[in-house]
A and B are shown apart, each in its own frame.
Chain A
Amino acid sequence: MHRFANPARFLRIARPLTPALFWLGLILTLAACIWGLFFTPTERLMGDTVKIIFVHVPAAWLGMGGWTGIAIASIVQLVWRHPLAGVSARAIAVPGATFAAICLITGSIWGRPTWGTWWVWDGRLTSMLVLFFLYLGYIALSNASSNKGDTSRVAAVFGIIGAINIPIINRSVIWWESQHQKASITLGGSSIDSAYLAPLFVAVAGFSLLFGALVLMRMRAALAEMRIEARMRRMAEG
Chain B
Amino acid sequence: MPHAPFIIASFAVTGVCMTWLVVSSYLSMRRAEASAAELKDRP
Contact = CB atoms under 8 A, between A and B. Distances in A.
Looking at chain A's contact residues, the main secondary structure is helix
Given A55-B10, A98-B17, A102-B13, A113 B33 contact: no
How many chain B residues sit at the interface, stated as a range, is: 20 to 34
Given A218-B25, A224-B35, A228-B39, A37 B14 contact: no
A52 B7 contact: yes
Given A52-B6, A214-B21, A228-B35, A220 B29 contact: yes
Contacts, number: 86
A217 B25 CA distance: 6
Interface residues of A, number: 35
B9 A109 contact: yes
B18 to A, nearest CB: 7
Contact of B22 (A33, A214, A221, A227): A214
Nearest to A219: B29
Interface string A11-34: 000000000001000000000010
A231 interface: yes
A113 B29 contact: no
Nearest to B13: A105
A231 B9 CA distance: 46
Given A55-B11, A109-B6, A113-B1, A220 B21 contact: no
A52 B6 CA distance: 8
